[in-house]
C-alpha cells in the first residue's frame, strides 16, 4: 500500500518551519549533552585525585547537523588508563619480567611525541633509556624480606638549574657539587588499580537530562 500526502500553501510552509525548529532543538540538545558529559567525566577524574593531565584526555566533538540527524561524541585519548580506573585492574610486568618499574620524579622526561600503550604521550624514560642517557647501569637494591626493590643511578650531581641530575664529571665536581646515588625507579611485582570512575553512571545521567535539553531549545525557537 502506498499513501501520498500533498500539502500546499501555508500548511507546507508551517510544516517546514516545524521540522527546522525540531532539528535546531535537537542539535542544541546534542551540543549541551556532549559538553555536559565531557565536563562530568573530567570532573570524575579530578575528584578521584588522578590529576588534570588525565582529566584533559577526555575530548568531545559536535558534528554539523543535517536535515535528519544531530550527533556528538565524547572520547579519551588515554583509553587503557581510563578503562583501568573505570573497571579496576591489576597490572603486571610484561615479557616475563618480575618487576614493574615505577618512575620517580628524578627520571628525566622523554622527548615529546613518544607514545605509551593507550595512545597517550609517555613523559618519563624507561630504565633502559635512563641507562643510555647517563651511559651507566642502574644499581638494584632490594631490602631483605621485602617484595619491593629500587633502581638507583650512582655518581650523579644536581643540575645547577635545580631541575634534574647530571653525570658527575671532573668539571662539575670541581664546582663543589657532590656526587650522590639518585633513586630513579621503584620496582614492584604488580600494581592494582581500584575502581575510581563511573563512566556508565555519567552517561546515564546525561541520557536522563537529554529530552529536557531538547525541549528547552525547542521552546526558544518557537
Q: Residues 167-211: pLDDT tens digits?
A: 888 888 888 888 999 999 999 988 888 899 999 999 999 999 999
pLDDT at residue number 10: 65
Band of pLDDT at residue 5, cut at 50, 70 and 90: very low
Query: pLDDT by residue (tens digit) across 12-44?
Result: 566 667 667 788 888 999 999 999 999 999 999
Band of pLDDT at residue 120, cut at 50, 70 and 90: very low
**Residue 81 belongs to what H/E stretch?**
helix 79-87
Domain boundaries, the chain: 9-86+196-221, 91-193
Looking only at the bridges linking them, the beta strands covering 139-141 and 89-92 are: unpaired
Distances (CA, A) of 126 to 5, 25, 74, 101: 70, 51, 31, 8
Band of pLDDT at residue 96, cut at 50, 70 and 90: low
Amino acid at each position: 500500500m502506498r499513501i501520498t500526502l500533498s500539502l500546499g500553501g501555508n500548511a507546507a510552509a508551517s510544516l517546514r518551519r516545524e521540522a527546522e525548529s525540531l532539528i535546531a532543538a535537537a542539535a542544541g540538545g546534542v551540543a549541551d549533552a556532549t559538553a555536559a558529559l565531557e565536563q562530568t567525566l573530567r570532573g570524575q577524574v579530578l575528584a578521584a585525585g588522578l590529576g588534570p593531565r588525565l582529566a584533559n584526555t577526555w575530548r568531545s566533538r559536535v558534528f554539523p547537523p543535517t536535515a535528519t540527524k544531530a550527533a556528538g561524541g565524547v572520547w579519551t585519548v588515554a583509553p587503557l588508563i581510563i578503562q583501568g580506573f573505570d573497571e579496576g585492574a591489576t597490572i603486571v610486568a610484561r615479557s616475563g619480567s618480575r618487576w614493574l618499574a615505577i618512575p620517580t620524579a628524578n627520571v628525566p622526561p622523554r622527548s615529546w611525541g613518544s607514545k605509551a600503550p593507550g595512545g597517550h604521550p609517555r613523559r618519563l624514560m624507561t630504565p633502559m633509556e635512563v641507562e643510555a642517557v647517563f651511559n651507566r647501569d642502574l644499581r638494584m637494591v632490594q631490602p631483605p624480606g621485602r617484595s619491593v626493590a629500587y633502581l638507583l643511578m650512582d655518581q650523579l650531581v644536581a643540575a645547577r638549574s635545580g631541575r634534574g641530575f647530571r653525570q658527575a664529571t671532573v668539571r662539575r665536581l670541581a664546582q663543589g657539587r657532590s656526587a650522590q646515588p639518585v633513586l630513579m625507579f621503584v620496582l614492584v611485582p604488580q600494581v592494582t588499580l581500584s575502581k575510581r570512575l563511573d563512566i556508565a553512571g555519567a552517561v546515564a545521567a546525561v541520557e536522563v537530562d537529554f529530552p529536557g535539553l531538547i525541549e528547552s531549545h525547542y521552546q526558544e525557537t518557537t
